[in-house]
Amino acid sequence: MSRLLSSSLLPLLAILGSVTFLGLGTSWAKHTLFPLVGAPGTTAVRVGFSALLLLLIWRPWRWRLARAEWKALVAYGVTLGLMNLTFYQSLRSIPFGVAVAIEFAGPLTVALLGSRRLPDFIWLLLAIAGLGLLLPLGHGVSTLDPVGVGWAGVAAVCWALYILFGKRVGHLHAGQSVAIGLTVAALTVVPVGVAQAGASLLSPVVLGVGLCVAAISSAVPISLEMVALKRLPPQAFGIMISMEPAVAALLALGLLDERLSPGQWLAIGLIVSASVGSALTARRSSAPPETALPA
């Protein structure tokens, strides 16, 4: 029973927690930080503080890494930084729901290309059907700002690469890989944010909110995602992460009293069913044991 919980339910719970914290933090960041420092500045504060927090918590320099592992971590970190930056850039000119829908093309493509068994395709179809019902892709898409759509498309590519590169470093301790990855991400995006926002990044409000947003929307979700990536093949991860719009809808209902139509509730059911089914049928890929924490 405990082995079933570890192999099937733990990844599901990790991703559920990840998307919940991510939705809360992203909403707060867009509402509070965008008007003060813009999208690049928000990305810099969020990713920069996330890196500092995880460096302090995990102290990743305690483990030695081979040259090939460093290369994989650099690729993982650069992709992570660009994914955050391009997604926030897209939010400047296109609606949040549409941006999420476009970005979801990344993990869903990974899921489709990596699937080899009939259950994988069933869960994938359920997830796609749910997203099609939940997100307003059929309304006003032709009038969307092409620049914003382009940024979201780049974010989709980065998300797909993030999943694949994350799997390559999945044999490392999760704290080590995420801390180093976020540090590389910060080195990638902080210069962009500084160039755009300048001294505004040093505002007490920006620093205070940025620190909170970093913990809520980057440090915690990415750590939880790495827990899931270590226990799932990339196609299963891509399907399960589709819970994000469903969780966002539930948060909106509880916090903002946004009522959902029957079709939207059906979408939530389809997406959650795909996530649970994927967790229960996914085969854990073989990987070396996780590196133990040093004394």
Q: Look at residue 108 and tell me whether its pLDDT is greater than 50.
A: yes
For residue 80, the model assigns a pLDDT of: 94
Kindly compute the dihedral angle of the four CA atoms of residues 269, 274, 275, 277, in this order, to the nearest 10 degrees.
Answer: 120
User: Looking at 128-132, 137-141, 236-240, which range is the least confident one?
Assistant: 137-141
Q: How many domains does the chain have?
A: 1
Tell me whether residue 127 is in a domain. Answer: no
Tell me whether residue 196 is in a domain. Answer: yes
User: Looking at 42-51, 70-79, 96-105, 183-192, which range is the least confident one?
Assistant: 96-105
Of 225 and 2, the one with more pLDDT: 225
pLDDT over 90, % of the chain: 31
CA-to-CA dists, residue 64 to 56, 169, 180, 272, 290, angstroms: 17, 14, 12, 39, 14
For residue 198, the model assigns a pLDDT of: 93
Tell me whether residue 201 is in a domain. Answer: yes
For residue 79, the model assigns a pLDDT of: 97
For residue 247, name the pLDDT band (cuts at 50, 70, 90).
Answer: confident
Tell me whether residue 121 is in a domain. Answer: no
DSSP-assigned letters across all residues of 165-180: HHHHTTTS-HHHHHHH
Distance in angstroms (rounded) separating the CA atoms of residues 129 and 125: 6
pLDDT tens digits, one per residue of 252-292 = 666 545 566 687 678 777 877 877 777 667 654 434 333 33
For residue 286, the model assigns a pLDDT of: 37
Distance in angstroms (rounded) separating the CA atoms of residues 258 and 55: 38
Of 14 and 237, the one with more pLDDT: 14
For residue 122, the model assigns a pLDDT of: 85
Tell me whether residue 63 is in a domain. Answer: yes
Tell me whether residue 267 is in a domain. Answer: no
Distance from chain centroid for Cα 96: 15
Cβ pair 101, 135 in contact under 8 A: yes
- Please provide the average confidence, as pLDDT, over all residues in the chain: 80
pLDDT tens digits, one per residue of 5-56 = 555 677 778 888 888 888 888 888 888 899 999 999 999 999 999 999 889 9
For residue 295, the model assigns a pLDDT of: 31
What pTM does this model have? 0.78
For residue 290, the model assigns a pLDDT of: 37
Tell me whether residue 59 is in a domain. Answer: yes
Tell me whether residue 122 is in a domain. Answer: no
CA-to-CA dists, residue 289 to 170, 171, 285, angstroms: 10, 7, 12
Range of the domain at 99: 2-116+138-230
Q: Look at residue 83 and tell me whether its pLDDT is greater than 80.
A: yes
